[in-house]
Amino acid sequence: MLSILASGAAFALPTFDKAFLPSSIGPGSTSTLTFTIDNSASASPATDLAFVDTLPAGITLATPASASTDCLNASINAPDGGNTLSISGGRLGGGQECRVTVNVTSSTPGVHTNISGDLTSSAGNSGLASADLTVDSARPGFTKMFFPSSVNWGGRSTLSFTIDNALSAISYDRLAFVDNLPAGLTVASPANASTTCGNPLLNATPVIATATTNTIAVTIAGASVPGYEALAAGDECTVNVDVIATGTGVLGNVSGDLTASPNFSSAGKATAALQIASDRVALSKAFTDDPAIPGETTTLRFTVFNRDQYHRATDIAFTDDLGATLTGLNATSVQGNTCDGTVLAGSNVTFSGGSLDPGASCSVLLDVAVPDTAAVGAYPNATSSLTAIVDSTPVIGSPATDTLFLAFAPSLSKEFIGDPVGAGDNVTLRFNIQNTSSTANATAITFIDELTTFLPYPLSATVPASPCGTGSSVAIIWLDSEREALSLSNGELAPSGACSFDVAIDIPTGIGGSYINTTGEITATIDSETTTGKPASDTLIVTKGVRLRKAFGDPVASGDVVTLDYLLGNDQDDTLRAFSEISFTDNLDGALTGLAAVALSSNSCGGTVDFSNPSIIDVSGAALAGGSTCNIALTLQVPAAALPGTYQSTTSEVSSVVDGITTLSVPGEDFLDISGLRLTKAFIDDPVLPGDPATLRFTLHNTTASETATGISFTDHLNATLTGLSATTPLPVTAPDCGPNSSLSGVSTLLFSNGSLNAGTSCSFDVPLVVPTNAPDGDYANTTSSLSAIIDGSPVTLAAAADSLKVDTRLLALNKSFSADTVAPGGALALSFTLTNLHPDRSVTAIEFSDDLGAVMPGLTAASVASNTCDGTITTGPTLGYSGGTLGAGASCSFSVDLQMPAVIPPGVNPFVNTTGEISGMIDGVAVTGGVANDDFLGRLLALSMEFIGDAYPGELIQLVMTIDNLDPANPVPDIAFSTDLGGILPGLAAEGLPLTGVCGANSLIQGAGTINLTGGSLEAGGRCRFAIDVRIPQDATPGEYNGRSAPMFIYGTENGAPALASITVSLHVQPIPTMHEWALLLLALLLPVLGMRYLLARQAKP
């Protein structure tokens, strides 16, 4: 029977379930459909997972559908707005589960039953999955849209949420949702956040959308009174927030759930997609600090982005006719320009001659004066098209647009008065508000300032009453879990009026640093229009106090002595800042009656340590140098009558002075452990696998000198540690070692009772456990109850015992490495793998992993197996596979394959990072895994050779010929640079006749003397450049042979190939000039034959 059960577990089918979350939505809202594939009942992996789900009539895939899965290798198809989801090719390990999620929507009220097709896999047919989605007309529908739905990079779009209660007869008192924008979208400045939901009297700040962040939080409060509801029956309302496109492509945005109270937890989500277009060279613009006030100055920022990752953009130009947007609007000055071109300010801004490296961006900032006669409102502004040259080709970018918002918005500033302030002190936060309109009242003035961004929750502050008008109020309001803020509401100011108010804030002990605090936007109603002003910021500096740690030298027996150490530390970042007047007290009697200080062992902190009252230690006048520590050690007497147990001992707060500022630090704390009876526990055979047995050992120690401990008991809730963790029978017999009447009972909760233990003895017992088969990896902390006993006739409660059970299926290690750091197109490269079984006692079978080489670089392929000490099967090709491997306990093996590089290296990506899939295997029917392995290499695009031509003589010239080859036959290489130290080859060797221009690309420049530098080089696909440089041999050069090499080549400032791959070996033989002695011998050798001939002729001529 056991064999049959094991076989069934090994080959059980994966289960297949599905659920809608939420399961009920309002008409038009979105729900997330989740499919769960659970293979935890099987020890074998399931491959080729596949199913199709055709949605019933009335339900469609949302836009965006945002389909995703964590099923390995699965392909998913779920088109936006369609009605069919399909999955194929998935893989799931034994004992694991995976999920498939997709967003769906429906506007048809009723219950919709969705029945999928069958889930099939290598394990067989798991059947279908079914779930119901209820579209409840009593709930409001929740939808959203972008207006416009398509913008250029840097453009503004309005994200509009609609909450539609038209089909419902129910009114709602509170509505809330949060929308976290996807990467590539941020809240615009100004956000122009607005809502028609709720009654303004009950909603000071219903929409929180801070510029440049990605979070929109909406909370609409109401009351059960007609006209004051958050959303009335049969009505609808909207929430609008402007966003800025900072990314490109189609960005799907899925909100959080719309909640309402007290009626329901969710009416569903809202979904929408924004398409963002971008040119090869893109231009955006923004009035960065509007709404601007007529007659004042605002900032206009232009941003240019060269999206071409391979070519430099030059001759960038555009214009912006500000006067056409608003008569009198004028750029008065240039704040900054990182675009290298020329900026002409004025009513018609002109930019020309800009340049940008590949993938780079730059900005131009202008001060723009707004005419004082301008009417409030929105003024759309568009530039001309952008023009540029990229790769010798003219390109045109779309105009950039933004809207200048003019409003008499309220002005808000803030200031922390009197800081730096010490921890434990208080600080004054002053707010100033100005009505910028000279003709109209500002009413309903509102802002919030979250302080728990830097102060711990809850806040402690004193707020004023009615600081900005009779009906105004300031309060501390709750925002969210452990979040609080100051809130001003219902403020009112006369034309050009102002108000100022102070809030006293208590600074808690133990904090310190520099904290930037920024309010939310301030809003007001001026001329019947809601206007939004900018946030206010200031920095609070808190001086942190000294750090105190205290520690007893326990455990200690009753009646014995114990050491107590106080360690003072200086946490200030500036190691030159010192603490003085350090003081604190420690009431020993408050921890344990009769505990007394008897001697001061040491004191490196200075000051006075007073224990004239032995139960109270009083430290005063201590000092601490910057960045240092000091120690105070005392000896304490433990009362003889003290019962065994753990006693908490806490000092007062610690007062100190730094830079003349008094600070308070948190108290020091430790627990005094008086020994007597102690319980320990240990999982003695972990780490364990899911489904494994485990052993939990308990040990009781009675360390008293003469007292027997009786009535010993404790409990251990195993299931609370790990769901399903339980003891197996038979349980150990604890009698008589742990007491003649002792017993242990329970399965998921253990109960030890009626134990007894003589003085000076101990006992142990081992409890057999079984780990649940579906236990996830982790460290599971297991703590008993407190230990209860009777000692010397008195009941005592002693410390619990704790240990952690480690469940770990990550018992395989995989490492990989390439044989070279760089490789040329078409070259060869070796790739080595090492596999290790991390389990010390058990073998691993069915080891497998894959490595998609083609995903790293198209055309990269494993050509052959070079070596192999592993016993599995290796498959080569674009995807390298390893399967069927076996490793003994603690064993390792390795193999290597020869890779073939493609003839063309893809542009724009270097280095190339290669990551395997996760390695997996089986240990005794349990699936085990390991991490992925990765390594990288550079695709070498350049080759450099160097050669000296001609004979070399001291003081004379010789030619150095250098050749650079682009090894990529399909792509050009720009921005080439390198340097060669001639003096490193031969001291005094120097180039002449430089600089040279245009010899290796139109913008190339070669310059230098002792060191030759090439910058701005470029080569066409497969191209070569070759150039010669005159080099002079030093006059004092010693004859001989000299060798050297260049520095590495660089592309865009990134090294492309190690020096050895761009090296030069120069053989330079220096021929010396003959000396005077050598010239004399040569002359003599030439003259001797001539003189000899003349002598013979003369003798023959004599008679």
Flag whether pLDDT at 156 surpasses 80: yes
Name the average pLDDT for the chain: 87
pLDDT in tens, 1008-1027: 888 888 888 888 888 888 88
Of the listed ranges 367-371, 754-758, 1036-1040, the one predicted with least confidence:
1036-1040
pLDDT in tens, 640-683: 888 888 889 999 999 999 888 899 988 999 999 887 888 999 99
From the list 616, 554, 557, 565, the residue with the least C-alpha distance to 589 is: 616
pLDDT in tens, 984-999: 788 888 889 888 888 8
pLDDT at res. 1048 = 64
pLDDT in tens, 169-212: 888 888 899 999 998 899 998 888 889 998 776 666 688 888 88
What span, in angstroms and rounded, lies between the C-alpha atoms of 1001 and 1026?
Answer: 11
Task: Annotate 724-758 with DSSP letters as a single string.
Answer: T-EE-SSPPP-TTTT-TT-EEE-SSEEEEEEEEE-
pLDDT at res. 480 = 75
Label each residue of 20-42 as H, E or C. Answer: EECCEECCCCEEEEEEEEECCCC
Of the listed ranges 360-374, 391-405, 979-993, the one predicted with least confidence:
979-993
pLDDT at res. 87 = 93
pLDDT at res. 1077 = 64
Q: What's the pTM value of the predicted model, to 2 decimals?
A: 0.54
pLDDT at res. 10 = 43
CB 537 within 8 A of CB 517: yes
pLDDT at res. 1082 = 63
Where residue 48 falls (left for φ over 0; alpha for ψ -120 to 50; beta otherwise) is left
Domain coordinates in residue numbering, the chain: 2-135, 141-277, 281-406, 411-543, 547-674, 677-807, 810-939, 942-1062, 1074-1103
pLDDT in tens, 499-526: 999 999 999 988 888 899 999 888 899 8
Contacts 24+ apart (CB under 8 A), 995-1000: 996/1027, 996/1029, 999/1025, 999/1027, 1000/964, 1000/976, 1000/1025, 1000/1027
pLDDT in tens, 19-44: 999 999 999 999 999 999 998 888 77
pLDDT at res. 1061 = 37
List CB contacts of 1043: < 8 A, sequence separation 6 or more: 985, 1065, 1066, 1067
CB 606 within 8 A of CB 619: no
CATH class, range 411-543 = mainly beta
The CATH architecture to which 810-939 belongs is Sandwich (2.60)
Per-residue pLDDT band for 1066 (boundaries 50, 70, 90) equals very low
The CATH architecture to which 942-1062 belongs is Sandwich (2.60)
Q: Does domain 141-277 have CATH number 3.30.200.20?
A: no
Burial of 583 (0-12, 13-18, 19+ CB in 10 A): middle
What span, in angstroms and rounded, lies between the C-alpha atoms of 295 and 298?
Answer: 10
Flag whether pLDDT at 283 surpasses 60: yes
pLDDT at res. 1078 = 62
CB 725 within 8 A of CB 748: yes
Q: Does domain 677-807 have CATH number 2.60.40.740?
A: yes
Q: Does domain 281-406 have CATH number 3.40.50.2300?
A: no
Beta bridge pairs of residue 554: none
In CATH terms, 547-674 corresponds, of 3.40.50.300, 2.60.40.740, 2.40.110.10, 3.65.10.10, to 2.60.40.740
Q: Which fold has domain 2-135?
A: Immunoglobulin-like (2.60.40)
pLDDT at res. 3 = 29
Flag whether pLDDT at 1 surpasses 90: no
Measured over the CA atoms of residue 1018, residue 1020, residue 1022 and residue 1026, the dihedral's sign is: negative
List CB contacts of 646: < 8 A, sequence separation 6 or more: 671, 672, 673, 674, 798, 799
What span, in angstroms and rounded, lies between the C-alpha atoms of 398 and 281?
Answer: 9
Of the listed ranges 413-417, 896-900, 1031-1035, the one predicted with least confidence:
1031-1035
